[in-house]
Chain A
């Protein structure tokens, strides 16, 4: 049973436009959410996080939104740049697990 779901395996966005990556979760005990970016043959790189007591966190071009009632979070990247092309993983902490629970990732492709 997948507790963190990223329903879009891939997403293509034009350079300069907004990229919106979505994530849904089922475990209401999750209390901290993170986004990671991963290039091929490298480990995931931490991007941005949000606590369950907040609904928005912004860091430069990256903003994460959390809708607890819908058990949904999203990552907005604006403006999108070619270097943003990578696989993005949504992860959740808490819920009784010692480690992070990850989604399967969304491959973001930024078109020139």
Chain B
């Protein structure tokens, strides 16, 4: 595709439910990143994939968060037992290689009620 796409664009869920967010990176980009932006804050780095592997998962806020990437392409970010503090915009980005310009998707706005 022409750019990074994310789905859904908006998600409202009840506290305690699980959610799954999807990211389709730019074709050929080997590096994929997840960030989140809480209200009034900058972007907070969550996790990075080089190919299908994530070398370091320590940026994930808690063990309720997990992410995977398959086929070197699509990635999913899963949040289990959502809490109100998980409400944020979750952004995915991809780049040709690590530490190069990253191109962002439009984000998924998650609201936990």
Residues of A within 8 A of B (CB): 4, 31-32, 34, 36, 41-46, 49, 89, 91, 93-94, 97-105
Cβ B101 vs Cβ A49 within 8 A: yes
B25 interface residue per 8 A CB criterion:
no
In the bound complex, how far is the Cα of B56 from the Cα of A100, in angstroms?
Answer: 14
| Chain A residues, Cβ within 8 Å of B93 | 43
Cβ B106 vs Cβ A103 within 8 A: no
| Chain B residues, Cβ within 8 Å of A93 | 99
Cβ A103 vs Cβ B42 within 8 A: yes
**Interface residue tally on B, bucketed by range:** 20 to 34
Query: Smallest CB-CB separation from A98: which chain B residue?
Result: B48
B111 interface residue per 8 A CB criterion:
no
25 contacts between A and B (CB under 8 A): A31-B99, A32-B99, A34-B101, A43-B4, A43-B106, A43-B107, A44-B91, A44-B104, A46-B104, A49-B101, A89-B43, A91-B43, A98-B33, A98-B45, A98-B48, A98-B55, A98-B59, A99-B33, A99-B35, A99-B46, A100-B45, A100-B102, A102-B35, A102-B43, A104-B41
Quote the shortest CB–CB distance from B87 to chain A (angstroms). Answer: 16
Cβ B45 vs Cβ A101 within 8 A: yes
| Chain B residues, Cβ within 8 Å of A4 | 42
* B104 touches which of A32, A43, A94, A104 (Cβ 8 Å): A43
B98 interface residue per 8 A CB criterion:
yes
| Chain B residues, Cβ within 8 Å of A43 | 4, 91, 93, 104-107
Query: Smallest CB-CB separation from A105: which chain B residue?
Result: B42
In the bound complex, how far is the Cα of B101 from the Cα of A49, in angstroms?
Answer: 8
